[in-house]
Structure 1
């Protein structure tokens, strides 16, 4: 199955202005792990907003797992995102006064389908989130601590647990390792991919560091993919 399918896509932030993003054709296969690299201004944030269903292209097709996002209403895209996409934000976007456990559980509060996936595995959301946080290296006391009292690396792991809870078929990671040193960065990526592989989760990992491509099945340069502003 194809996880991401894009054809003749064009997006502009303002009407009657040149396109910010133009992609003729692009596919990501189910279960594939992909590193997407591009410098500032290459359209990374724009592409992620389209993949997450936050915005819609003015032209072309964008489908995730066979569902054409451009044909869904805003509310339907919100529901689809909650059920099917785990997102690790660059700044993590944790609620500072909630515990690590309660932050991770937010994923299931917005999606009954994620709860159902966990139930089919014979767990409760609380047990699944706890096990995920332990697997990601948090101690029992850290799991109960408010997010604001955790280190950057620990907050990053909480964000990963929230994104992975309930086995979403697509994981988008937006430069989540930019604040880490090389050793912690590499160990986190390896663990993230290991956990994703258990559920055959498709991974799109966005970074500016091409050296990380060794960890992924494929590597795409957004400047090659995005034809906006390119003339023959």
Structure 2
């Protein structure tokens, strides 16, 4: 039997590989993957601190990088201006972040992340003071704060808003360094870190009224010092 007439030769054109289509498909897949990765990174950057910390606790190191970038500047300035020693501030700064790394798996959202991390920084400062011969500064005692009724209500106006020139800001920083430690801490947490009174109270371990008193007393002292300096300048005829 002759099968030559019944067998059909396969149509080779059906088996030609369309490399151009494969390339297009791969390119599209890569584009969508890259877009998804970029969107994921963008979404991570937009997450609130508390969610980022939870992600870091679950093993996402990118979340830690974002948190560190957001808060390293303010946290370091807070420590540096409190202890007024860059070497000590650097050591305390590293201790805070290392403590956060070590305890990340136990993290739960009980307060804002800023409150959580600045509370750790405050505790590191207190530990540092206790190791010194002079001990914890007396200004951290609640009795240091005067009665609220004796202080002019200036909460709506801060020295930073009054001073517009860089040279005056430099003088303000010197005046801030002369404040009692607890008052300086309250002022820096409010002005440098933008924290609310409730957060400052939580961080420093006092009630809201005490935190408010420390802040207002610091503002009152700074304004008095600035006014006195301006009067002296005018008296010398430098204005």
TM range (shorter): under 0.3
Q: What is the TM-score of this pair, normalised by structure 1?
A: 0.25
Q: What is the TM-score of this pair, normalised by structure 2?
A: 0.25
Write 1 or 2 for the structure with the bigger share of helix. Answer: 2
Q: Which has the larger radius of gyration?
A: 2
Write 1 or 2 for the structure with the bigger share of strand. Answer: 1
